[in-house]
Chain A
Amino acid sequence: MSVQSAPDRVTAPGGRAAGTTRRGQAVRFAVLFALAVLFLLPMYVLLVTGFKPFAEATAARAWSPPQTWSTEGWAAAWEALSSGLRNSVAVAVPSAAVSAVLGSMNGFVMARWRFPGADTVFTLFLFGMFIPYQAVMIPLQQMLVGANLMGGVFPLILAHTVYGIPICTLIFRNYYASIPRTLIEAARVDGAGMLRTYASVVLPVSAPAFAVTLIWQFTSAWNDFLFAVFLTGPNSWPVTVQLNNVAGSMVVPYNQQMAAAVLASLPTLVVYLVLGRYFMRGLMAGALKG
């Protein structure tokens, strides 16, 4: 690094000396800003179109802000989606909770109370994370029909719970791997059995991992479409299916379509904005990096 650039050096957050000049930073900022504007285009369209009255949601005024702001699109979207929103909550909450609990138990065992073949079982679990759900859809549907379990939101809860186990196991296993081995072994030496160790040593420190898995599972169950299409009927359609029906129809005006898309996305967006740190960790865990 040349001497004359030294006065221009800036310090990055976290205290690392960044090897860039002020001009370099300005260029980077400009590029980032331009990309941010591009990234925001779809969001601009959603909001602006959603707030237009029916008559204004046309090609001619596609990109202009509304002349008169109207909530009629939102009212219509709410009308069309409210039962789906309820169904989505009814599916996403219990399935996230159950797969998180199972994932926590599995993660504990696979990180700290291993059994012979645990790695093989773990690898087999992980593959469940990557399988295309298409490869299990037809049998799953046939089985549920055969067992007379179709109808309502139960099939969807079951599917999201079971297929959520792999990622939850992965997240908890990586998290528990950071608990000092000695802590677990001390409990063992003191005569604590597995359940006791789990309940009094491991569970009390598990809150962050539960936050990650619950958010992750809630989000993926909420955003799912494939299982929903295969496994539910009109009365139990979650919001993604209803949104697709609204938007896929030729007669529904754009203002209502856009408002509906925002409504259907609000819960996960709020979760992301409020609990972004945990959302991020879930994402990173998905990349197999603990």
Chain B
Amino acid sequence: MSTSPNRSGAAVGGGPGRTSGGGPRPAPRRALHRARAWLPGLLLVSPSILLIGVFVYGMIGWNLRLALSDKHAPIQEGEFVGLVNFVALWQEARWPAAVGNAVVFTVVFVGGALVLGWLLGLLLDKGIRGEPVFRTLFLAPMAVSFIATGVVWRWLMNPAPAERATGLNALFVHFNLDFLVNDWWTAPDLGMAAMALPAIWQLAGYIMALFLAGFRGVPEELREAARVDGCSEWGVYRHVVMPQLRPVLLSAVIILGHMSLKVFDLIIAIAGQQIVADVPAVYMWAMVFEVRDPAKGATIASYLLFAVALFVVPYLVWTVRKERSEGR
């Protein structure tokens, strides 16, 4: 490639401001010129494109191929069998139960973290003595691993009866609140609701931070205008602040939702592999490591991916488009 006499011309983007002279340049030259402007950028990103291409999309494709095969033992070759595994999964008792558990967990966790986080944000919004301390405290669990959280919450939610009880049950007995004593996560029906408590504890502070940033992003003039119009303080929140927070709410739901569907560490740390607290991710782990059935593990993984992609993909496309149109 010959060196261009005019490097900066290409760099600014070539474009319509072509200089006069001997008429328009031949089209291929122009395209080349323009490419010189953006090609280095593409090259700089190419290692990452390669890595993401192979390790995200390549692996997803590979996983899907496994899920569509009958490779039910690590040494087997595996033939293409279509959607057989995807259908067969629903015929097992364990899978629908695991999905049900994940649904209960998701509803309680997402709902609980949103409500508590929103409440904390609301309480802190106007500024209060010790605000930095409160903020630091409510956010701290976020810095800790689910495994460490699980260690202490398994102790807190220990279901052992009265005299052997540790944790919250012991505390309830001590304060004569025996009616509160319960089986926590070992309860067959709503045990997963208890399992969501540590997750709420861990993420509520994050939601608080999101809402707090959202609250404070609402211009004071807007609130003041509503007040002048005779809005009560609550009315200002209800009619002026809250509607502005829909994007925050949406990203909070996306973040919590995708975490919830793939919950794994927390379950393992609290319940280990007890069937009562089974979720898809734990089920998959068992299929890969104990039953050693790659096709089945891959099928479960695919279902997890679909579930997440279902709401994340539209969200991402919408966000990036919106940002672009706002001229970011």
Contact = CB atoms under 8 A, between A and B. Distances in A.
Interface of A: 1, 12-14, 16, 18-20, 25, 28-29, 31-32, 35-36, 39-43, 45-46, 49, 59-60, 62-63, 102, 105-106, 108-111, 113-116, 118-119, 121-128, 130-140, 142-143, 162-163, 165-166, 169, 177, 185, 188-191, 193-195, 198, 219, 222-226, 229-230, 240, 243-244, 247-248, 254, 257-258, 260-262, 264-265, 268-269, 271-273, 276, 279-280, 283-284, 286-290
B49 A132 contact: no
A258 B166 CA distance: 13
B92 interface: no
B29 interface: no
A254 B151 CA distance: 9
B285 interface: yes
A19 B227 contact: yes
B84 interface: no
Interface string B306-322: 00110011001101110
Interface in B36-93: 38-42, 44-45, 47-49, 51-52, 55-60, 62-63, 66
A119 B12 contact: no
A39 B148 contact: no
Contacts of B134: 32, 36
Nearest to A102: B48
Nearest to B145: A223
Interface string B102-140: 000000000000000000100110111111001011111
A16 B127 CA distance: 9
B42 A115 contact: yes
B210 interface: yes
B276 interface: no
Contacts of B313: 127
Given A115-B41, A136-B63, A273-B140, 9 more contacts: A16-B127, A42-B156, A45-B167, A135-B305, A137-B301, A139-B58, A248-B272, A258-B152, A260-B151
B320 A126 contact: yes
Contacts of A254: 155, 166
B291 interface: no
Nearest to B220: A16
B255 interface: yes
Given A261-B151, A264-B148, A121 B129 contact: no
Interface of B: 7-8, 11-12, 38-42, 44-45, 47-49, 51-52, 55-60, 62-63, 66, 120, 123-124, 126-131, 134, 136-156, 160, 163-167, 170-171, 174, 201, 206, 209-210, 213, 220, 227, 233, 236, 248, 251-252, 254-255, 258, 261-262, 264-265, 268-269, 272, 281, 284-285, 288, 294, 297-298, 300-302, 304-305, 308-309, 312-313, 316-317, 319-321, 324, 328
Contacts of A109: 41-42, 44-45
B143 A139 contact: no
A283 B152 contact: no
A166 B159 CA distance: 41
B52 A131 contact: no
Contacts of B304: 132, 134-135
Nearest to A263: B148
Nearest to B214: A289
A195 to B, nearest CB: 7
A136 B56 contact: yes
B295 to A, nearest CB: 9
Main SS class of interface, A:
helix
Contacts of B206: 283
Nearest to B287: A138
Given A132-B261, A135-B304, A188-B11, A110 B142 contact: no
Contacts of B128: 25, 28-29, 32
Given A109-B45, A189-B8, A135 B301 contact: yes
B40 A123 contact: no
B7 A258 contact: no
A41 B152 CA distance: 10
A124 B57 contact: yes
Contacts of A36: 134, 137-138
B44 A105 contact: yes
A158 to B, nearest CB: 8
A234 to B, nearest CB: 14
B147 A244 contact: yes
A51 to B, nearest CB: 14
B30 to A, nearest CB: 15
Given A106-B48, A119-B320, A280-B139, A59 B60 contact: no
A272 B227 CA distance: 38
Contacts of A28: 123, 126, 128
16 contacts: A19-B233, A45-B152, A59-B164, A114-B41, A115-B41, A116-B38, A134-B284, A137-B301, A169-B48, A188-B11, A223-B145, A244-B268, A247-B150, A286-B255, A287-B252, A288-B319
Contacts of A133: 262
Given A195-B40, A257-B151, A264-B148, A225 B48 contact: no
A103 B151 CA distance: 34
B7 to A, nearest CB: 6
B144 A269 contact: yes
